[in-house]
Amino acid sequence: MGTQTCKRCDGPLVSRDEKSLQKVWAWLIAGMIAYIPANIYPMLLTSTLIERSESTIVGGVIELVQHGSIGIAAIVFIASVIIPIGKFIAVGYLAISVQRRSVASRHARHKAFEAVEFVGRWSMIDVFVVAILSALVQFDTIATINPGIAAVSFALSVIFTMLAAQSFDARLIWDANRTPSL
């Protein structure tokens, strides 16, 4: 017995993922847990001949503002704080609305899902910036920049929320008005 194919596009037909919401919740909670140390511990460890400093995400934003780089500070704040928290809220909202079989605004929920999927592609920009800075600024004893433990935690948080979004079966949004199968 082979897999059935779509008569229109000849692609394989795939059934609903029975465990989709369990996977979404597991990945989402893991992402939220990893986000905590990403904001508590230092993202960058900077050493010069004179001093050694550690910067958290929010601490780095504050330093950028103090040095007059308000635009860059805004980008870092949006990419590192606003977007991840927004993704947590959006994925959690989608999972809750599907679990409660809400029929309200299915189209808007689908658009929210597409937005989360799109933003997920750009979520690793902070980690790339830290990696590039670490690679470029290595003057041995004069100055070095190294990633802190928060960089790893932030990367894990991003990966986990991306997996949560990918685990979400968007077709469940449209199934809200159907009776559950036993």
Which one has a higher pLDDT value, 12 or 137?
Answer: 12
11-57 residue pLDDT tens: 777 777 778 889 999 999 999 999 999 999 998 777 777 888 788 88
Which tokens belong to 97?
A: 């609305």
Would strands 52-55 and 44-48 be described as parallel, antiparallel, or unpaired?
antiparallel
Which tokens belong to 8?
A: 């229109």
The per-residue b/e assignment along 6-24, b for 16 or more CB within 10 angstroms, e otherwise, is: eeeeeeeeeeeeeebbebb
Contacts of 1 (CB under 8 A, 6+ apart): none
Decide: residue 137, CB within 10 A, 0-12 exposed, 13-18 middle, 19+ buried: middle
Rounded Cα gap, residues 106 and 174, in angstroms = 6
Which one has a higher pLDDT value, 128 or 27?
Answer: 27
Which tokens belong to 83?
A: 């977007």
Assess whether pLDDT exceeds 50 at residue 66: yes
164-175 residue pLDDT tens: 988 888 777 777
- C-alpha torsion sign, points 38, 40, 41, 47: positive
Question: Band of the pLDDT at 182, cuts 50, 70, 90?
Answer: very low
Assess whether pLDDT exceeds 70 at residue 1: no
The three-point CA angle 155-140-54 to 5° equals: 45
Cβ-contact 12, 3 below 8 angstroms: yes
Helices then strands (H, E): number in the chain? 8, 3
